[in-house]
Amino acid sequence: MTPRRETRSYLWDIIEACDAVAEYIKGADYQRYANTRQLRSSVERELFIIGEGVVGIRKQEPLAVHTLGNVDGIVEFRNILAHSYFTVKHDKIWSIASEHAPRLRAATKEWFDSLSK
């Protein structure tokens, strides 16, 4: 059985994963991303961690979790990475990494900071 974690810990995991994604894709364009397996794998792993964090928060904070945005979409994407990886489209992941992850990070950091006060 997995030990119970606090919401704050899941939020921190999401922040760190978003930061890692930003670091990995810094200076890259879609072509480099699509043609570099190591880069794709690294980004996908962090997106999976984000999805796991959202799943954990959703169990503990089923209403508040929606302040993070489209949590159902995040969880659905995590499930695709885990169970249907062969259907993943590189352009979709690039869009998530370059556009959606920064917004998620900002919302997550705001919630995290509010719990730290």
pLDDT of 2 higher than 90: no
Q: What is the pLDDT of residues 92-115, one digit of tens each?
A: 999 999 999 999 999 999 999 999
Residue 4's pLDDT band, with cuts at 50, 70 and 90, is confident
This prediction's pTM:
0.94
Does residue 111 lie within any of the structural domains?
yes
DSSP-derived letter for residue 63 is T
Position 2 in a domain: no
Q: What is the largest CA-CA distance in the chain?
A: 44
Q: What CATH number has the domain bearing residue 82? A: 1.20.120
55 is in which domain, residue-wise? 7-116
